[in-house]
Amino acid sequence: MSDVGISSIAGYLPRLRLSKKTVTQANAWLAPNLAGKGKGTRTMANWDEDSVTMSVEAIRRILGRDDDRSHVDTLFFASTTMPFADRLNSGIIRAALTLEEETQCIDITSTLKSGTSALIQALDKVKSGKSSHSIVSAADKRKARAASPQELNFGDGSVAISVATENLIAKYINSSSLSIDFIDHFRQPGEEFDYNWEERWIRDEGYLKIVPKAINDLFRKSQIDGSSIDHFILPSVFPKLDQKIAKKCGIDPDKVVNNMGLSVGDTGSAHSLLMLASVLEKAKPGEKILVCSFGGGSDVLLFETTENITNFKPEQTIENLIESGTEENNYMKYLTFNDLIKWERGMRGEQDRKTALTTLYRHNDAIMGLIGGKCSKTGTIQYPASPISVSPNSPDLNTQEPYKFAEKRAKILSWSADYLSFSINPPNHYGVVDFEEGGRIMIDFTDVEKGEIDSGMEVKMVFRVKIVDELRGFTRYFWKAIPV
């Protein structure tokens, strides 16, 4: 039987890094007890990012710019903050990535170990021969009440993993799972925030008893002990708890992987796998990696790196992502982006944002996948596609073939920074971009501040929230451009 494991892995972190000191200072009058948590930063998603858009970006980094993605037959999406409670969220991701319609899409949610659970299912599916190439993505963008510890502990981010039987960088050895109804926090339908229980109880009765039990079960099944582990991964907001559990299981505490708490925060269901990505970017062949998660029990997975790890060069490492972030010291921007305050949007913000679902379905490839047309007779590229080609002096009928714009680079032809139209992050940047092989689109710009863009600047496409219909609770997605 062929080995199964990870053939590629990539993370995505939003551009902004919220200064924790800014948060604690703003809330010092109300919650002076949080002062000790004011060190470092946490990732902060833009207003037009959510768990779906972040997952799309992470998966794009392992699929590359190749138009042919037919080799992917299964997509797992794990998150505790899915935009839709009743819509196939992984189906949105599939459409954005232009994966085949036959791709099986599966949502896994309701626990912080959903990321590792999705990975176990993908590994088992490929191992059994029911899938030849599965993609696992995990992402979270969790809300927290102002002046709460969670506001400082949480972070936004995503990770994507390619599971296959060929070109493995890490071979899957074994796993162990416990499903235990230990309630450290919960969130009912319709609630924005988690209700959290007492920290000492979570630490002593939860982590310290459940996680070691799952680890020791894996050791027994795999006939190894803690001394053989080279990297120990366990997300936790409790200081040195990961080292305590490592020592309890016979693992050298020096093998504990940095949880990025002072730079990223805890990205929820994605965090174990995000830490795994950071390890694989620097690992050497033959190293054993133990990946643990906690939530509704515990998952534990064991991997061993292969010789291929020496050739593993991700487009952007986790370290690069952390270093390239922009520190955000405006606490009000964080509150506004996460809809945590009521603010005056003005009359221009009073518009009906109802989405025509029929139009979305009929033009799904163009809207979700940014697919236009290329004239088979003249080679003229256009967006959107139409029955009539826009080729000069040759307006031929029905000559267009599908053309994917999303992975094509472009340059800004013209732009505007508009304070008159409604925007959650004014000014509203938009303009016209010309693509490298042809084609032109008027599009929004995102992840930019005033004065950061200009004509001639190179941009790339990103999948983002276009607008939210708050009356009906529908999120509309489209593509935007960001400078590169």
Taking 90 as the threshold, does the pLDDT of residue 332 lie above it? yes
At residue 94, the pLDDT reads: 98
User: Once rounded to an integer, what is the mean pLDDT over residues 424-433?
Assistant: 96
pLDDT tens per residue, range 3-23: 999 999 999 999 999 999 999
DSSP letter, residue 344 = -
φ and ψ at residue 194, rounded to 5 degrees: -75, 150
Rounded average pLDDT over 250-260: 98
**Cα(437)–Cα(65) distance, rounded to whole angstroms?**
14
The whole domain housing 47 covers 5-337
Write the DSSP string, 293-348. Answer: EESSEEEEEEEEE-GGGGG---SS-HHHHHHT-EEE--HHHHHHHTT-S-----GG
How many domains does the chain contain in total? Answer: 2
| 54 or 391: which leads in pLDDT | 54
Same domain, 298 and 424: no
Which strand ranges, in their side-by-side order, compose the sheet holding 381-382? 381-382, 371-375, 400-404
Residue 381 forms part of a structural domain: no
Q: Which residue has the tokens 């949007």?
A: 345
Distance, CA of 269 to CA of 259 (rounded, Å): 14
Q: How far apart are CA 479 and CA 484, in angstroms?
A: 15
Residue 185: beta bridge partners?
Answer: 196
Name the domain boundary from 312, 337, 362.
Answer: 337
Residues 357 and 297 in one domain: no
Are 328 and 470 in the same domain? Answer: no
Q: Is residue 365 part of a domain?
A: yes
326's tokens: 């922009």
Query: Of 147-156, 239-248, 319-328, 385-394, which gets the smallest average pLDDT?
Result: 385-394
Residues in CB range of 297: below 8 A, 6 or more apart: 111, 113, 177, 178, 179, 180, 182, 210, 214
Task: Examine the fold and report which residue of 292, 312, 337 is the final residue of a domain before the chain moves on.
Answer: 337
* pLDDT surpassing 80 at residue 1: no
Query: Is the pLDDT assigned to residue 188 strictly greater than 90?
Result: yes
Tokens 């997509």, residue?
75
Verify that 412 and 437 share a domain, yes or no: yes
Q: What percent of the chain has pLDDT over 70?
A: 100
Beta bridge mates, 445: 481
Domain contains 215: yes
Give the separation between CA 204 and CA 259, rounded to whole angstroms.
20
pTM of the model as a whole: 0.97
Give the pLDDT confidence score for residue 134 in this predicted structure.
98
Looking at residue 362, which CATH number applies to its domain?
2.40.50
What's residue 360's pLDDT?
A: 96
Same domain, residue pair 459 and 428: yes
pLDDT, greater one: 385 or 346: 385
Same domain, 327 and 428: no
The pLDDT confidence band at residue 430, using thresholds 50, 70 and 90, is very high
- Residue 415 maps to a domain: yes
112 and 187 part of one domain: yes
The whole-angstrom separation of Cα 106 and Cα 85 is 13
Per-residue pLDDT reduced to its tens digit, 376-407: 999 999 999 999 988 888 888 999 999 999 99
383 in any annotated domain: no
Same domain, 161 and 254: yes
The confidence band for 416, taking pLDDT boundaries of 50, 70 and 90, is: very high
Nearest partner of 182 among 152, 137, 214, 153, judged by Cα: 214
Judgement on whether residues 293 and 360 belong to the same structural domain of the protein:
no
Q: Which of 285, 316, 337 is the last residue of a domain?
A: 337
Is the domain of 363 the same as that of 441? yes
Same domain, residue pair 68 and 163:
yes
Q: Residue 248 burial (CB < 10 Å; 0-12/13-18/19+)?
A: middle
Residue 194 lies in a domain: yes
Give the pLDDT confidence of 441-475 residue by residue, as tens digits: 999 999 999 889 999 999 999 999 999 999 999 99
For residue 330, the domain's CATH number is: 3.40.47.10
Residue 104 pLDDT grade (very low, low, confident, very high; cuts 50, 70, 90): very high
In a domain, 379, yes or no: no
How many angstroms separate the CA atoms of 107 and 91, rounded? 9
| Predicted local confidence at residue 169, as pLDDT | 98
Taking the CA atoms of 115, 117, 118 and 124 in sequence, report the sign of the dihedral they define. positive
pLDDT averaged over every residue in the chain: 96
Q: Are residues 323 and 451 in the same domain?
A: no
Q: CB of 437 within 8 A of CB of 408?
A: yes
Residue type, 107: D
Residue 349: the pLDDT is 84
* pLDDT surpassing 90 at residue 155: yes
232: DSSP letter: E
Averaged pLDDT for residues 198-211: 97
Q: Is the peptide bond before 426 cis (omega within 30 degrees of 0)?
A: no
Model confidence at 350, in pLDDT bands (50, 70, 90)? confident
**Looking at residue 15, what is its pLDDT?**
97
Provide the pLDDT for residue 348. Answer: 83
In a domain, 147, yes or no: yes
What is the C-alpha to C-alpha distance for residues 304 and 278, in angstroms, rounded to an integer?
A: 15
Over residues 112-152, the pLDDT tens digits come to 999 999 999 999 999 999 999 999 999 999 999 999 999 99
